[in-house]
Amino acid sequence: MVVRGELLERYTDRLRPLPLRTNRVRTHESLAIEPTRIHGVWNPGPADALSVHVYAPPLVAMTFYDPRSLAPLRSERSELAVSA
Q: Which amino acid is at 9?
A: E
Determine if residue 60 is left, alpha or beta; phi over 0 gives left, psi from -120 to 50 gives alpha, anything else beta: alpha
The model's pTM: 0.77
Residue-range definition of the domain harbouring residue 78: 54-84
Q: Assess whether 32 and 72 both reside in one domain.
A: no
What digits encode the pLDDT tens for the residues 15-46?
988 888 999 999 999 999 998 999 989 999 99
Task: Identify the band that residue 84 occupies on the pLDDT scale cut at 50, 70 and 90.
Answer: very low
Dihedral angle sign, alpha carbons of residues 80, 76, 4, 54: negative
Cα 74 to Cα 7: distance, rounded to the nearest angstrom: 24
Count of domains forming the chain: 2
SS3 content of the chain, % helix, strand, coil (to 5): 5, 45, 50
Q: Assess whether 15 and 41 both reside in one domain.
A: yes
